[in-house]
Amino acid sequence: MQDEIRHHIIKHGLRPGDPLKPEAELARLFGVSRNSVREAVKALESTGVLETRRGSGVFVKDFSFAPLLDNLPYGLMQGSRALGELVALRKALESAMIGDAMRALTPESAAALREALATMLERAERGEDFADQDREFHRLLFADLGNEMLLQLFDLFWLAYHRAAPSVPHRDPVEIHGNHAAILDAVLSGDPERAREAVRQHYVGLEKRIVASLA
Is the same domain home to 205 and 117? yes
**Whole-angstrom distance, CA of residue 131 vs CA of residue 97:** 22
**pLDDT tens track, the chain, 215 positions:** 888 888 888 888 888 888 999 888 889 888 998 888 989 988 888 777 888 888 888 998 876 666 665 655 555 555 567 778 888 888 999 999 999 999 999 999 999 999 999 999 999 888 888 989 999 999 999 999 999 888 988 888 888 777 776 555 566 888 889 999 999 999 999 999 999 999 999 988 788 777 776 65
Is the same domain home to 12 and 72? no
Is the same domain home to 30 and 46? yes
162 alpha-carbon distance from chain centroid: 12
Amino acid at 89: L
Is the same domain home to 181 and 100? yes
Is the same domain home to 38 and 80? no
Boundary of a domain, candidates 42, 60, 78: 60
Is the same domain home to 149 and 94? yes
46-73 burial: b if 16+ Cβ within 10 Å, else e: eeebbbeeeeeebbbbeeebeebeeebb
Question: How far are the Cα atoms of 18, 131, 141 from residue 119, in angstroms, in the given order?
Answer: 42, 11, 16
**Whole-angstrom distance, CA of residue 90 vs CA of residue 160:** 11
Q: Which domain holds residue 24?
A: 2-60
> How many structural domains compose the chain?
2
Is the same domain home to 194 and 111? yes
CATH code at position 158: 1.20.120.530
Is the same domain home to 193 and 135? yes
Asked if residues 184 and 138 have their Cβ atoms less than 8 Å apart, the reply is no
Is the same domain home to 103 and 159? yes
